């Protein structure tokens, strides 16, 4: 194979030699909100806590973002948002919960800590998201809920899943941590299922500081129960504390500083969503019109993506190098990317099938953390991910496109 000396991987000049524009996610607005809170505490002598002015304001603004209907509760992480959401369903211990095989560990462990059995579901072969076709064979008379994660800023094919769940009388929890504002037919993710969770850590579309999360539902009873689980099982009456602990729960509360940051942040979210969608669509259009080996992966009809990263499908049969080498070449041209999305909880040491069965005191044959998930493996092998941030300017977008063109030209074979 002839060495292409123009490529940065071979010593050539990279398309982009400076870092991508930083996000500057936290600004003066957040500083002023936090100072207002602290100054008020100094002035009055009263320490701030949680479930007070700023959390209520943030929750109201979040509901407005979701369309003005429903209820929200701020918590201290996306993982604990899921823990609280699951707890709100009052599922019988050892009920089964369908869990995506491709998700963060924090998208699975709350199932176990609610004394429930995770049944891991393969993804749609075209995507990183699960679909009704993969879920249906896993359902049993013990199935109590389905967790649907909307990965990468793309909506899962949620409508058939909701139809299936209603037919079987099963709860649906939407994990919208990477996709706030994504939609199908103009309806936002998080409004399809019974209850939804969002992560607001600093590496997401908007944040409430270093960590945070939100539980959202249009079902008032569910959000009240999730609020109880998130505060040690306390009964809340008109946002006031009660000494009655009526459910098992943990302390998952969002504090007032986090909520104050969130109040400023959520005002920025619509523009962040608009920018990430626009950037992603420009790159998607370029690949569709010009690339012989790369396309943005399949997405549901009439869906709107907020592109936390762009999932690019690579035709590995039409390149002269391995996918690993291809992605390394792209990365050295200055593109922020990941060669694969290998977020599979059962591959982690903490997911030991025998230890889990002992912990749950079950011999259920449905429990298996060692199956071969063919679709997930396929998606990982033929996709790579380009990270998208709202701060990327026209030059950054051009550099991404130029890098894609440069590396494709070097490695494409008929």
To the nearest 5 percent, what fractions of the chain are helix, strand and coil?
Answer: 40, 15, 40
Percent of the residues in the chain that have a pLDDT greater than 90, as a whole number: 86
Measured in whole angstroms, the distance separating CA 241 from the mean position of its chain's CA atoms is 31
pLDDT of residue 366: 64
pLDDT of residue 51: 86
* 158-182 mean pLDDT: 98
Pairing of strands 96-100, 143-149: parallel
Residue 224 region by backbone torsions, left for phi larger than 0, else alpha for psi between -120 and 50, else beta: alpha
The pLDDT confidence band at residue 3, using thresholds 50, 70 and 90, is low
Residues paired with residue 166 on neighbouring β-strands, in sequence order: none
Task: Lowest mean pLDDT of 29-38, 324-333, 366-375, name the range.
Answer: 366-375
Torsion angle defined by CA atoms of residues 151, 154, 157 and 159, in that order, rounded to the nearest 10 degrees? 110
- Quick one: pLDDT band at residue 168, thresholds 50, 70, 90? very high
Q: What are the start-end ranges of the H helices in 169-255?
A: 220-230
pLDDT score for 83: 98
pLDDT over 60 (residue 1) = no
Cβ neighbors of 184 (< 8 A, separation 6 or more) are 155, 158, 159, 192, 300, 302, 303, 304
114-125 mean pLDDT? 93
Question: Which pLDDT does position 239 carry in this prediction?
Answer: 64
Q: What is the pLDDT of residue 54?
A: 97
Characterise 68 by phi-psi region: left (phi > 0), alpha (psi -120 to 50), beta (else): left
- Distance, CA of 108 to CA of 97 (rounded, Å): 10
Per the model's pLDDT, the better-predicted residue between 14 and 359 turns out to be 14
Query: Which pLDDT score, from 0 to 100, does residue 368 have?
Result: 65
- Distance, in Å, from the CA atom of 87 to the CA atom of 279, rounded to the nearest integer, reads 38
From the centroid of its chain, how far is CA 162? 19
Per-residue pLDDT of 322-337, as tens digits, reads 999 999 999 999 999 9
pLDDT score at 4: 80
Q: Say how far apart CA 87 and CA 148 lie, in whole Å.
A: 16
**Residue-wise pLDDT tens digits, 44-99:** 999 999 889 999 999 999 999 999 999 999 999 999 999 999 999 999 999 999 99
* Residue 239: strand, helix, or coil: coil
Query: Residue 218: pLDDT above 70?
Result: yes
CA distance 273 to 300: 18
Whole-angstrom Cα distance, residue 193 to residue 166? 10
pLDDT at 389 over 80: yes
State how far the alpha carbon of 94 is from the alpha carbons of 106, 153, 362, in Å: 19, 32, 8
* List of E strands, 141-286: 143-149, 171-175, 183-184, 187-188, 195-199, 213-217
User: Whole-structure pTM over 0.85, yes or no?
Assistant: yes
Q: Which of 393, 395, 378 is nearest to 297 (CA)?
A: 378
The residue-averaged pLDDT of 175-193 equals 98
The pLDDT assigned to 2 comes to 56
pLDDT band at 210; cut points 50, 70, 90:
very high
Q: Of 15-24, 44-53, 191-200, which range is least confident?
A: 44-53
pLDDT for residue 363: 67
Q: Can you tell me whether residue 41 is helix, strand or coil? A: helix
List the one residue out of 241, 327, 284 whose CA is nearest residue 52.
241
Nearest one of 327, 333, 328, 413 to 1, comparing CA atoms: 413
CA proximity to 175, closest of 192, 161, 160, 190:
190
Mean pLDDT of 35-45: 96
* pLDDT (mean) for 135-154: 97
Could you read off the pLDDT of 239-284 as tens digits, one per residue? Answer: 666 777 878 889 999 999 999 999 999 999 999 999 999 999 999 9
């Amino acid at each position: 194979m002839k060495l292409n000396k123009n490529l940065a991987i071979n010593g050539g000049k990279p398309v982009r030699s400076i870092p991508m524009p930083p996000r500057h996610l936290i600004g003066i607005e957040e500083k002023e909100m936090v100072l207002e809170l602290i100054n008020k505490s100094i002035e009055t002598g009263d320490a701030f806590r949680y479930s007070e002015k700023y959390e209520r304001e943030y929750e109201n603004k979040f509901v407005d973002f979701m369309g003005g209907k429903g209820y929200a509760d701020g918590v201290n992480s996306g993982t604990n948002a899921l823990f609280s959401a699951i707890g709100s369903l009052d599922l019988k211990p050892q009920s089964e919960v369908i869990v995506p095989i491709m998700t963060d560990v924090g998208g699975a462990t709350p199932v176990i800590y609610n004394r429930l059995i995770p049944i891991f579901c393969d993804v749609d072969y075209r995507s990183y998201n699960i679909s009704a076709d993969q879920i249906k064979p896993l359902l049993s008379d013990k199935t109590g809920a389905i967790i649907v994660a909307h990965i990468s800023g793309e909506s899962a094919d949620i409508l058939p899943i909701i139809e299936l769940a209603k037919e079987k009388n099963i709860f649906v929890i939407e994990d919208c941590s990477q996709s706030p504002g994504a939609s199908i037919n103009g309806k936002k993710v998080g409004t399809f299922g019974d209850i939804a969770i969002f992560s607001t850590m600093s590496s997401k579309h908007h944040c409430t500081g270093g960590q945070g999360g939100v539980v959202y539902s249009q079902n008032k009873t569910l959000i009240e129960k999730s609020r109880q689980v998130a505060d040690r099982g306390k009964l809340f009456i008109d946002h006031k504390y009660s000494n009655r602990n009526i459910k098992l729960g943990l302390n998952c509360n969002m504090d007032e500083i986090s909520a104050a940051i969130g109040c400023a942040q959520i005002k920025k979210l619509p523009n962040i969503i608009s920018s990430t969608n626009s950037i992603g669509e420009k790159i998607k259009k370029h690949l569709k019109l010009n690339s012989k080996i790369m396309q943005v992966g399949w997405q549901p009809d009439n869906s709107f993506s907020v592109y936390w990263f762009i999932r690019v499908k690579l035709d590995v049969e039409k390149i002269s190098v391995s996918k690993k080498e291809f992605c390394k070449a792209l990365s050295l041209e200055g593109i922020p990317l990941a060669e694969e999305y290998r977020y599979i909880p059962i591959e982690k040491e903490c997911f030991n099938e025998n230890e889990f069965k002992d912990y749950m005191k079950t011999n259920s044959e449905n429990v298996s953390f060692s199956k071969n998930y063919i679709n997930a493996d396929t998606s990982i092998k033929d996709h790579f991910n380009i990270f998208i941030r709202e701060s990327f300017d026209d030059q950054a977008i051009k550099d991404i496109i130029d890098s894609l063109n440069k590396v494709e030209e070097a490695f494409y074979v008929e």
